[in-house]
Amino acid sequence: MAQRLQLDSVTAGYGRIEVLRNLSFSVPEGSVCALLGPNGAGKTTTLSTISGLLEARRGRILLDGRSINRLTTYERASRGIILIPEGRGVFPGLSVHDNLDIAAHAARGVNDDWRREQLAKVLEMFPRLHEREDQRAGTLSGGEQQMLALSRAFLAKPKVLLLDEISMGLAPQVVAQLFDGVRRLRDEGVTILLVEQYLTYALDLADVCYVMAKGRIVFAGEPEELRGSSSLAGYATA
């Protein structure tokens, strides 16, 4: 299977601190990859480096086999690398409808038919958004805001979605619905790299798992290999 995204010996950090040290891993096209690991392992830093918010000091980041190191965050986003940061990305003062409409108009090279089709798809994926189209996004529940953030990301026509702990602070039932949405995005052909603390859901959904510790990969394999393995020691399992 072709690799959608590859990190090849990437080093990155803040000031004098190196957080990622020769980090290498791949995200196959069309897969869901889970990036797991204890607090402070460098998971968010990895997503920041892929999206261009943080510079890779050494090593290469490849999208479809081509280096994107020199591209700005904006250029990476317009090539389809979309990050949903911890804490979501919605316009709280705008309605659900307007949030979706803006996202659909940000997608490049698409026409109104495509926009209508994709909008209908996300509203079918997340019926709760459908019921609340006129509600201001800031008054949605945390889970509903994440559904909106996922929908907005989907409308931006992503190649790779980077998800940073979308389940943070949410009830298990809501997390299950969100992960169902993530599965459907994968079924639509989106490649997904997700950082997650909710292991049960992450392992159920992921095709490939990576465990990070101290800025390096300490386990790479299928979720089944990871269940019960010592790499999981030290996690709060959900």
Q: Is residue 234 near ligand ATP by the rule CB under 6 A?
A: no
Q: Closest approach of Cβ 218 to ligand ATP, in Å? A: 13
Tokens describing residue 63: 């999208």
DSSP letters spanning 123-192:
HHH-HHHHHTTTSBGGGS-HHHHHHHHHHHHHHT--SEEEEE-TTTT--HHHHHHHHHHHHHHHHTT-EE
Q: Closest approach of Cβ 17 to ligand ATP, in Å? A: 6
Q: Among 31, 45, 177, 191, which residue sits at the site for ligand ATP (rule: CB under 6 A)? A: 45
Q: Is residue 87 near ligand ATP by the rule CB under 6 A?
A: no
Round to whole Å and give the CA distance between 71 and 68: 5
Q: Is residue 16 near ligand ATP by the rule CB under 6 A?
A: no
Q: Is residue 162 near ligand ATP by the rule CB under 6 A?
A: no
Q: Is residue 14 near ligand ATP by the rule CB under 6 A?
A: yes
Choose one: 36-44, 126-134, 168-176, 216-224; the region binding ligand ATP (CB under 6 A): 36-44
Tokens describing residue 33: 């990859």
| Contacts of residue 12, Cβ cutoff 8 Å, sequence gap at least 6 | 18, 19, 20, 23, 45, 48, 49, 54, 55, 56, 57
Q: Is residue 52 near ligand ATP by the rule CB under 6 A?
A: no
Round to whole Å and give the CA distance between 166 and 178: 8
Q: Is residue 235 near ligand ATP by the rule CB under 6 A?
A: no
Residues 163/186, Cβ–Cβ less than 8 Å: no
Q: Among 23, 32, 36, 42, which residue sits at the site for ligand ATP (rule: CB under 6 A)? A: 42
> Binders of ligand ATP: how many residues, by CB under 6 A?
11
Q: Is residue 209 near ligand ATP by the rule CB under 6 A?
A: no
Q: Is residue 193 near ligand ATP by the rule CB under 6 A?
A: no
Q: Closest approach of Cβ 56 to ligand ATP, in Å? A: 14
Place of tokens 């090849």: 8
Round to whole Å and give the CA distance between 108 and 120: 18
Contact residues: ligand ATP, CB under 6 A: 14, 17, 19, 37, 39-45
